[in-house]
Structure 1
């Protein structure tokens, strides 16, 4: 019988470490019993994946082992159910061990631990076979929660050197394993490399070992406990120092060491979130204006006059008016509320009126940001919070576009029907402004120590303008720099998903580094490294170019606190005003290099994207020079107050949450590459061409949703897009191929990239793209003509597809040279080939007879269709069976042309047209578009499809 004690009866006692050992044993038993049973009973079935089986793949993944078959799934579920008891006990004991007075972090870590336990049950008992989406949601939630759980446990670890050592080892192994895990998953999923999934599986199983092993280390701490629960060493009463306490003592006075370990207050993290959301709204307004401005020259086919709207960016110049400056600096809330008119602009149908609302919003937003920075320059804590909010706001904007496939959900081109969250965005903005401005008003910028050197206001302004332009043009979307370095298939560099998350991570890391180490971030050494990064992303492709882009992204965010701190030493109308004027100059510069055929003076800067980058970096260098002068008189190693340290921690929590969100988005959006053509059994390919006018419809709304509907209803397997490159400020840094390809289940290729000065071409395909090459065709006078030459695997046969946009009508010599180039390219291909093109020629006349000739070997899909000028579908060595023209409604200014081809049947020598009744059902066009059609889309010109025997 257990002894009876004066202070309570010990009914049974056992050491707390057995909770850890029980959790470790049953967790490992769950996974490895399923592995042993699965390998014994269903070896060949569980190593089989969508591409390969045994012997190419010879070791199963975790998901295939535990979720697909009986009885191994039952073994896993039984043992993992038993594990849940010790798991909840482990989380509870960890909280008892680490709880300290006036600290909320242990409660947060415990909450995360409970959350991970429930989500583990979710992906365990809802397998991918049962419900793929919910399985992924639970799995993603579990993996995302692993980061705060791991970091929280490390921060709260009792000062047990052995336990801390093992925790660091297990955590390092876990997160280090993610790198090769993702690499081999991409090799399997994207490149379809035999055996890659087996290597991926080994790293996946390693994650299980390290994850469970990390929690097993608690046995070294729990031996201080005896249960029923009696603390024999006093560790639960805050008497034992933790690792965090020791670090705080050792690192006292150092920037990072002083950030964490303070009390956690929800009110302050809400303040940080409010500041961030205000920054997000500001960047959303700024990035949204360009899209609206672009609509007008697009539909006028030249300068429209509405381009003057971009002068709204230079509204900080208005702060030269003393009364306005006083009003803005003392009442920033007024201008922030006025700027919300831009979030309500989606209610306005008329494009011009919507533009005017957004101009007003941008003017107010830029004034509010400038005045707030200037007003709080003398209060270091609040000034730093404004920089944090502004910088993290940009990151949040990029994360939002990453989640919404490069459209910002609160832009004025969005509404509920095409994926917008405008109403929610407006509601949260109102709450954020009310929250962020509830504190006492500032001095209005009147008090600021003026001793010491201030540097040059002109140079500071140039630096600010260059910085803002670089951030807007390269970092407002996580895929922009990836599109710069993309050169087609096979994949030899980063892809937008998942590698856009790396851009977002580099931005966040740079911002934190710049705030902690401004001396280094503002140094000439850092600037020189940034110059190297800028050169790499400008002149190199694939991973080399992208690594340069990551360096540049890190630097731009790191340098922003330094350059802004220097700029606020001067009058806001001088530095921010000059900066905004130079920012507008750079916007025009980077549009002129591609729009040279339509703008005055365009040929002077034709195709000189490198000049834009050089000018931008020189301007930033001017800002660095001015900052170096002003910082030379600033006090060195100024101590950070406890309030400042605590405040920093909350902004870093918000930033960490955004980083975790970007990782989750990258996982959820990862391409599945399991796409299936519409008529696989009939071996039919439906190919189309469409000039999409940059994804803006006639009423200035984002048109991807409407485009998706008509393409899916037409059952198009392969489609070429022209006028599709939106990766510039004036076009919103969007990528419609991501949106459409993911939603429709298609492979996507786009190119040449935005740094190659074309209006863009893109290819979407249900068939794997084996290889693709991007071409810039001869254009000595007019606009550059882009082309994609891709080889697709169509039902086991290699077929070439070329997407091409010819030069404009005003430059006949350009079009002649382009015709010869492309005809030679097609003639040299030994494979069957389909041309999806924009030729700018009349049927049977001029250049048409070079495109359709012995030189190219190409045939016109319908030589009798005389009513064409731009879009053509040509082919060779294929059996043509159908052709149709479909009206555009109000999506764009150009119709859709589609053709049907059969793979595996010889091209007949004598073709004849046949009525639809003689055509097999699988080779027919959909009935939906006959007569009046649907939503304004119908068969037109000859009012019905044409078919051939």
Structure 2
């Protein structure tokens, strides 16, 4: 710092005084002689680093254990990668420096976790390792946050704060390895030729080192069989959540295409199959033959092989019913074995975590859903095989349960209250935590960014869910207390009522609580009647699912207007239902204190299973971080025809990203948008963040694959069917509007300002109300006309208007109030989709057939953005005959023309239709 202070605090955006403390890379690699000194000393320390890995291996290795070899491998690997990122600096080769650095951080995870598993029975060393490892991984979260603030949002001073966390990682890393000094105190290294006689001989620990061994899960030996049990349990839980979350999707397909109640909605009740357990012979049959029923539940994952949507729904319905029945029987049969029931619940909850992580890696689609197949990115075959193996392993062991029926009879808590709480908890987990982007979109309010982003900050949700798992296991009495419930209720209120980061903080509190409470709640509820607890519980869950559909689908369902737009009611009822379980748990705690002297001994509590489930959770977090790295936005997007200052805009109603045959349609949509060379596209019917739509977000995949910025539009708590905007141009500002809708469904709109070749251009994306509500549509046309007329910047409207050309509300949208013009007034064949504009040179218009992707075509238009010298010409009206003067394609420049591959028969069922070719205009 004394030699090159101003130079090493300078980064790509800012320097001193905004940035005043250097990062590790800048300090060690950018300048001479500092770089040479650091490399000299890092070379000196390499010997001790390799020696530490070797000595640790000798200390922990035996002839029957393979884990020490794995840990030693990662120890050597991370030491080499440490040399990689220090000797190859970002100045030398930025890509390789990042590769070595990320590899080092990734390898540190199995190294630290492996050292914890292999730690000798030294309570002090184990405690220090836990603290330092927690600090190390906890530091990564703010490290990534401030790096994003610097790299993406270009916040002055963010890199300085990032630098402090980066140096902290170095210190924690060194401190973790320094703990080995405590284990080496009694370690004697002797070099002699003993012909291998003493290799792997058991060590005799000192009496002091035995202290705390029995109570510490990490001090026990590592068994691959138990690790496989944990992995199989988690994957089986993942299969449950995959099948359950797919049910709503397959049911939703039918009212979507019937435009009303179809009758197939009855399959929602597939989940109440645990009610069958009220019949004693059936209960005994299911409990004694759990393997059979768990294998039958895998049938839901075979649905992708069924092409007919009706029979695919039947297959999913059967799979869901078997899943719910078999899991209820498993919880009940293992309820009195504390270790076993905890492992089952951990498998169930970590399975939800795995489902959320898999959906993040697949851009909010689950790769083994029945709407996925090989053509759209599904891994169904692989997932099915693993699910069968996991079900076999999951049902491989049975633990005896002594005195179980007696304990169930003596408990005083209400089974009905447990049923209510289980239903509310399951609904909250499914509706809020089955996808990492759901709660982020609840608090999203447009640009500039003032809150979390789905592809950047999703790990915060995974992190608090992971913390909730640990907290629920280690502090069940705490998480089931009334003060913590009140805190979670406040978090739920903050999420429901607030936006941006503050709203998301409430979401994180609620997420941690829901996961943590699941463990003591399900554990206690499992001791009651499975038919009542889980059968009625799933019925309550179904009621909540329908409730949260009714608040947005009120215009299409009986009694809908009574709950219209009342997500606040849903959240309130959810927390009250969960509160029923908290009441039971606290009542049970008081009863246990009175009966403490009379309790009979139950089965043992083998806590060592926790380390395997925690290990699986750690690996899942690692997978998520790798996926997040792959999805990190580049924000360097380029339009297709920048040389001609052309902007190609489109409007498309995507029908909730399910095609005519019930397959997820993101990739097919991506291909057409790419073929049409769209720079800006408005998507309607795009809000998929509900249980019936799979809690998905199509815009994530489209934006990242096409290289576009995205504004999701009004979030799922705004009760619309959705409007979204994708743009290759930076979105400078955007606001969301809910237009007047006194009777019918809410009409969402986005008003965004884009930086198009240095010119600010306003883009409006709008979906009007339905045909049955003419007064709604009249009020909406007036509102939008005033909104468009409020700006004198060049503007484009990408919309769904539900009107005939030149008639009725059309003349409000295209009027002196709005200042907007129709892209082609002679196109008489429109009813819904319209493109309007002002202040731009309109040069082309085309209509592209949809194939089987959706029920609405893609309409596109090309505009030239005038420079400052020509701008005034297009801000005022031009004579009608001049404005709509059409010309032949050969009369316009190459950059103004539409792609030729969509002519004639087109490609993949997409072609120019209605006019059979694009239209071109002079003005």
Cα distance per residue 1:743-800 (max 9 Å; x no partner): 1111111121101110011111111111111111110000000111111111222211
1:554 maps to 512
1:696 maps to 658
* 1:918 alignment partner, one of 891, 894, 908: 891
* 1:736 alignment partner, one of 678, 693, 698: 698
1:599 maps to 557
For residues 429 and 579 of structure 1, the distance between their equivalents in structure 2, rounded to whole angstroms, comes to 25
- Following TM superposition, by how much is the alpha carbon of 1:97 offset from its aligned partner in structure 2, in angstroms? 4.5
2:196 maps to none
1:673 maps to 635
For residues 207 and 921 of structure 2, the distance between their equivalents in structure 1, rounded to whole angstroms, comes to 80
With over 3 angstroms needed to count, the CA separation of the structure-2 counterparts of 1:589 and 1:162, relative to structure 1, is closer
2:342 maps to 384
Q: Secondary structure at the match of 2:887?
A: coil
Contact 1:521–1:558 (CA<8 Å) still a contact in 2? yes
For residues 427 and 191 of structure 1, the distance between their equivalents in structure 2, rounded to whole angstroms, comes to 44
For residues 57 and 688 of structure 1, the distance between their equivalents in structure 2, rounded to whole angstroms, comes to 43
- Following TM superposition, by how much is the alpha carbon of 1:658 offset from its aligned partner in structure 2, in angstroms? 1.6
Is 2:889 aligned against 1:931? no
Contact 1:280–1:394 (CA<8 Å) still a contact in 2? yes
Contact 1:375–1:444 (CA<8 Å) still a contact in 2? no
- Following TM superposition, by how much is the alpha carbon of 1:262 offset from its aligned partner in structure 2, in angstroms? 0.8
Cα distance per residue 1:899-927 (max 9 Å; x no partner): 11222433554443222212222222111
Contact 1:462–1:622 (CA<8 Å) still a contact in 2? yes
Contact 2:121–2:211 (CA<8 Å) still a contact in 1? no
1:750 maps to 712
Instruction: State TM-score, norm by structure 2.
Output: 0.89
- Following TM superposition, by how much is the alpha carbon of 1:607 offset from its aligned partner in structure 2, in angstroms? 0.6
Could you tell me which runs of 5 or more consecutive residues in structure 2 were left unpaired when the two chains were aligned: 194-198
1:18 maps to none
Is 2:640 aligned against 1:682? no
For residues 267 and 914 of structure 1, the distance between their equivalents in structure 2, rounded to whole angstroms, comes to 74
- Following TM superposition, by how much is the alpha carbon of 1:830 offset from its aligned partner in structure 2, in angstroms? 2.9
- Following TM superposition, by how much is the alpha carbon of 1:563 offset from its aligned partner in structure 2, in angstroms? 2.3
1:20 maps to none
- Following TM superposition, by how much is the alpha carbon of 1:522 offset from its aligned partner in structure 2, in angstroms? 2.0
1:782-797 to structure 2, matched below 5 A, reads 782-797=744-759
2:277 maps to 319
For residues 682 and 267 of structure 2, the distance between their equivalents in structure 1, rounded to whole angstroms, comes to 33
2:379 maps to 421
1:495 maps to 453
1:604-643 to structure 2, matched below 5 A, reads 604-634=562-592
Contact 2:123–2:211 (CA<8 Å) still a contact in 1? no
For residues 123 and 895 of structure 1, the distance between their equivalents in structure 2, rounded to whole angstroms, comes to 51
Contact 2:360–2:436 (CA<8 Å) still a contact in 1? yes
2:820 maps to 858
For residues 417 and 77 of structure 1, the distance between their equivalents in structure 2, rounded to whole angstroms, comes to 50
2:235 maps to 277
* 1:117 alignment partner, one of 67, 72, 79: 79
Is 2:442 aligned against 1:484? yes
Cα distance per residue 1:470-491 (max 9 Å; x no partner): 1111111111111111111111
With over 3 angstroms needed to count, the CA separation of the structure-2 counterparts of 1:360 and 1:161, relative to structure 1, is closer
For residues 414 and 229 of structure 2, the distance between their equivalents in structure 1, rounded to whole angstroms, comes to 34
Contact 2:342–2:523 (CA<8 Å) still a contact in 1? no
Q: Secondary structure at the match of 1:869?
A: coil
* Greater alpha carbon shift after TM alignment, 499-508 vs 327-336: 499-508
1:296 maps to 254
With over 3 angstroms needed to count, the CA separation of the structure-2 counterparts of 1:160 and 1:302, relative to structure 1, is closer
With over 3 angstroms needed to count, the CA separation of the structure-2 counterparts of 1:154 and 1:898, relative to structure 1, is same
1:86-97 to structure 2, matched below 5 A, reads 87-97=49-59
* Greater alpha carbon shift after TM alignment, 698-707 vs 858-867: 858-867
For residues 71 and 422 of structure 1, the distance between their equivalents in structure 2, rounded to whole angstroms, comes to 56
1:189 maps to 151
- Following TM superposition, by how much is the alpha carbon of 1:82 offset from its aligned partner in structure 2, in angstroms? 8.5
- Following TM superposition, by how much is the alpha carbon of 1:183 offset from its aligned partner in structure 2, in angstroms? 2.9
Is 2:833 aligned against 1:871? yes
Is 2:302 aligned against 1:344? yes
- Following TM superposition, by how much is the alpha carbon of 1:623 offset from its aligned partner in structure 2, in angstroms? 2.2
2:766 maps to 804
1:127-526 to structure 2, matched below 5 A, reads 139-150=101-112, 153=115, 174-175=136-137, 177-194=139-156, 196-197=158-159, 200=162, 203-204=165-166, 207-208=169-170, 211=173, 215=177, 238=203, 245=209, 248=212, 258-440=216-398, 447-526=405-484
For residues 464 and 311 of structure 1, the distance between their equivalents in structure 2, rounded to whole angstroms, comes to 16
For residues 372 and 640 of structure 1, the distance between their equivalents in structure 2, rounded to whole angstroms, comes to 18
Cα distance per residue 1:66-101 (max 9 Å; x no partner): 999999999999997887665433311233345589
Cα distance per residue 1:789-818 (max 9 Å; x no partner): 111111222211111110111111111111
1:713-724 to structure 2, matched below 5 A, reads 713-724=675-686
- Following TM superposition, by how much is the alpha carbon of 1:497 offset from its aligned partner in structure 2, in angstroms? 2.3
Cα distance per residue 1:317-374 (max 9 Å; x no partner): 1222332211111111111111222111111111111111111111111111011111
1:24 maps to none
Contact 1:804–1:838 (CA<8 Å) still a contact in 2? yes
Cα distance per residue 1:81-136 (max 9 Å; x no partner): 88766543331123334558988765554343134235557778999999999876
Is 2:498 aligned against 1:534? no
With over 3 angstroms needed to count, the CA separation of the structure-2 counterparts of 1:273 and 1:873, relative to structure 1, is same
1:581 maps to 539
- Following TM superposition, by how much is the alpha carbon of 1:661 offset from its aligned partner in structure 2, in angstroms? 2.2
For residues 261 and 648 of structure 2, the distance between their equivalents in structure 1, rounded to whole angstroms, comes to 38
Could you tell me which runs of 5 or more consecutive residues in structure 1 were left unpaired when the two chains were aligned: 1-31
With over 3 angstroms needed to count, the CA separation of the structure-2 counterparts of 1:723 and 1:161, relative to structure 1, is closer
For residues 625 and 51 of structure 2, the distance between their equivalents in structure 1, rounded to whole angstroms, comes to 30
For residues 99 and 198 of structure 1, the distance between their equivalents in structure 2, rounded to whole angstroms, comes to 43
With over 3 angstroms needed to count, the CA separation of the structure-2 counterparts of 1:445 and 1:322, relative to structure 1, is farther
* Greater alpha carbon shift after TM alignment, 125-134 vs 204-213: 125-134
* Greater alpha carbon shift after TM alignment, 529-538 vs 930-939: 529-538
* Greater alpha carbon shift after TM alignment, 460-469 vs 591-600: 460-469
1:712 maps to 674
Contact 2:120–2:219 (CA<8 Å) still a contact in 1? no
For residues 482 and 127 of structure 2, the distance between their equivalents in structure 1, rounded to whole angstroms, comes to 38
- Following TM superposition, by how much is the alpha carbon of 1:641 offset from its aligned partner in structure 2, in angstroms? 8.2
With over 3 angstroms needed to count, the CA separation of the structure-2 counterparts of 1:619 and 1:221, relative to structure 1, is closer
1:5 maps to none
Q: Secondary structure at the match of 1:449?
A: helix
* 1:881 alignment partner, one of 843, 850, 865: 843
With over 3 angstroms needed to count, the CA separation of the structure-2 counterparts of 1:300 and 1:668, relative to structure 1, is same
* Greater alpha carbon shift after TM alignment, 888-897 vs 431-440: 431-440
For residues 165 and 604 of structure 1, the distance between their equivalents in structure 2, rounded to whole angstroms, comes to 56
Contact 1:326–1:444 (CA<8 Å) still a contact in 2? no
Contact 1:887–1:937 (CA<8 Å) still a contact in 2? yes
Instruction: State TM-score, norm by structure 1.
Output: 0.87
For residues 240 and 230 of structure 1, the distance between their equivalents in structure 2, rounded to whole angstroms, comes to 22
With over 3 angstroms needed to count, the CA separation of the structure-2 counterparts of 1:221 and 1:650, relative to structure 1, is closer
Cα distance per residue 1:367-399 (max 9 Å; x no partner): 110111111223222222111111111111111
Contact 1:329–1:372 (CA<8 Å) still a contact in 2? yes
Q: Secondary structure at the match of 1:759?
A: coil
Cα distance per residue 1:500-531 (max 9 Å; x no partner): 22212222222332233222222222222221
Q: Secondary structure at the match of 2:555?
A: coil
For residues 580 and 481 of structure 2, the distance between their equivalents in structure 1, rounded to whole angstroms, comes to 12
